[in-house]
Amino acid sequence: MRFLTAGESHGQKLVGIIEGLPAGMKISKDRVDEALRKRQQGPGRGGRMSIEQDEVQLVSGVRGGLSTGAPVALEIQNRDWENWAEVMAFGDEADLDSRKVMTPRPGHADLTGTLKYRTEVRNILERASARETAMRVAIGSIVRQGLSALGVEIRGHVLAVGGVHAEYTDKREYWQRVEQSEWSVGDSGAEQKMGERLLEAREKGESLGGLIEVQVHNIPAGLGSHVQWDRKLDGKLAQAVLSVQAMKGVSFGLGFEAGERMGSLVHDPITYSKGQGFARASNHAGGIEGGMSNGEPIILQVVMKPIPTLYQPLDTVHLETKEVVKASVERSDICAVPAALVVLEHVVAWVIAEAVLEKFPADSFTELQTAWEAYQAYLAL
């Protein structure tokens, strides 16, 4: 299974193609749209989110709510394109001089992309933009629906925003609030502090990042493989999450703390019970050993750096005059950690779905389900 995306942030639309999806898998457009809606929410987002109302168009590969086995093509319109049609036009009519960026933003792809591709900053930032993550969420949501039919559940939590850590009695609380779209500053002390930190950042022309956790539940031991470097599940997950704009680090289970403890306080004792098979007394490994899922929940934490565009910009160098000036200010988010949480859940869904199809290659979803259930029965022996 593979996918590609295309599209600029202020271009006409985003497009995506998934190839290799088994036939006969139930696909709900509403569930894709629900995921897209969630990605647009959360405190700290900029003006763009009140322009867009993301909705997927399923263009091919689905009939009567079921995948056909053919490539699934998807589109998401950029409503903002209307305001950018002249700047972004494909032909000679394009107005290349308006909205030209000559003062690259530290932390964004502007300068390095311009040097590498010998083109304008606008051509770089349009594609580097996290607008592209809308399509990755749509694609991830399609395969997540298949995973869900197999009983696999993916959950995500915001652990911290701008250094303020969440206080969960039950991490699902946050998720439930996400489900209910109650994203704004809430009732707990930590949420209050997160909100205050956000206001502080806004007042100072600053931006914030944070820490996000993603968990995958109900997957069997044996996804991924130890035999080759590029088949290891932790490696694949790390690549996928670090490919999301502004993600700068990932850890599994105990993470960096593992390097500080004695081995007996890190490794998870093996247990066995008839009817349930092998399990672990703890899950410090975060569900992966030897590049393979070990049957415990996969738990990964990801750090997001603060948004690069600052309303009080840092110094940069003008590309023509070479003078030191302030970096350009494009309309921007101040914090996009809740949106990134939704993106990360969906890129993780993709990697898990790929690993499932590698273990149980199937052209039809019924075949996949049969193989999946037989393997689960074997593991329970």
Q: How far is the CB of 243 from ligand FMN (least distance, A)?
A: 8
Query: Which does residue 131 bind out of ligand EPS, ligand FMN, none, counting CB within 5 to 8 angstroms by kind?
Result: ligand EPS
Pattern of binders to ligand EPS over 304-333, x per CB under 6 A?
A: --------------------------xxxx
Residue 130 makes contact with ligand EPS by CB under 6 A: yes
Out of 134, 327, 337, 344, the residue judged to bind ligand EPS by CB under 6 A? 134
Answer yes or no whether residue 337 interacts with ligand EPS by CB under 6 A.
no
Instruction: Specify the stretch interacting with ligand FMN by CB under 6 A; choose among 1-9, 12-20, 91-99, 107-115.
Output: 107-115
Q: How far apart, in whole angstroms, are the C-alpha atoms of residue 237 and residue 344?
A: 10
Pair 258, 285: CB distance under 8 Å = no
Q: Answer yes or no whether residue 301 interacts with ligand FMN by CB under 6 A.
A: no
Restricting to residues 235-294, which ones interact with ligand FMN according to CB under 6 A? 244-246
Q: At what angle do helices 133-149 and 337-359 cross, to 10 degrees?
A: 50
Should residue 368 be labelled a site residue for ligand FMN when binding is judged by CB under 6 A?
no
Shortest separation between residue 253's beta carbon and ligand EPS, angstroms? 30
Sequence length of the chain is 381
Residue 272: how many CB atoms within 10 A of its CB?
Answer: 8
Closest chain position to ligand EPS (CB)? 48
Of the candidate spans 123-131, 198-206, 313-321, 370-378, the one that interacts with ligand EPS by CB under 6 A turns out to be 123-131
Nearer to ligand FMN, 227 or 314 (CB): 314
Which residues in the 23-62 window bind ligand FMN by CB under 6 A? 46
Of residues 314 through 343, those in contact with ligand FMN by CB under 6 A are 332-333, 336, 339-340, 343
Q: Which is nearer to ligand FMN, 113 or 295 (CB)?
A: 113
Piece of the chain touching ligand EPS by CB under 6 A; list 129-137, 285-293, 318-326, 360-368: 129-137
Binding of ligand EPS by 340 (CB under 6 A): no
Q: At what angle do helices 365-379 and 133-149 cross, to 10 degrees?
A: 60
Q: Pick from ligand FMN, ligand EPS, none: which does 343 bind, CB < 5 to 8 A by kind?
A: ligand FMN
The reply, when asked if residue 129 is annotated as ligand binding, is yes
Number of chain residues interacting with ligand EPS (CB under 6 A):
13
Q: Which of 9, 103, 207, 293 binds ligand EPS (CB under 6 A)?
A: 9
Is 331 known as a binding-site position? yes
The 3-class SS string of the chain reads CEEEEECCCCCCEEEEEEECCCECCECCHHHHHHHHHHHCCCCCCCCHHHHCCCCEEEEECEECCEECCCCEEEEEECHHHHHCHHHHCCCCCCCCCCCCCCCCCCCCCHHHHHHHHCCCHHHHHHHHCHHHHHHHHHHHHHHHHHHHHCCCEEEEEEEEECCEECCCCCCHHHHHHHHCCCCCCCCCHHHHHHHHHHHHHHHHCCCCCEEEEEEEECCCCCCECCCCHHHCHHHHHHHHHHCCCCEEEEEECCHHHHHHCCHHHCCCCEEEECCCEEEECCCCCCCEECCEECCCCEEEEEEECCCCCCCCCCEEECCCCCCEEECCCCCCCCCCHHHHHHHHHHHHHHHHHHHHHHHCCCCEHHHHHHHHHHHHHHHCC
Strand partners, 288: 293
- In angstroms, what is the minimal distance from the CB of 42 to ligand EPS? 11
Residue whose structure tokens are 């200010």: 329
Q: Which stretches of the chain bind ligand EPS, using CB under 6 A?
A: 9, 46, 48, 52, 129-131, 134, 245, 330-333
Residues in touch with ligand FMN (CB under 6 A): 46, 107-109, 128-130, 133, 244-246, 305, 307-309, 332-333, 336, 339-340, 343
Binding-site positions for NADP(+) read: 39, 45
Which residue ranges are tagged as binding site?
39, 45, 127-129, 245-246, 290, 305-309, 331
- Please enumerate, by residue number, every residue annotated as part of a binding site for FMN: 127-129, 245-246, 290, 305-309, 331
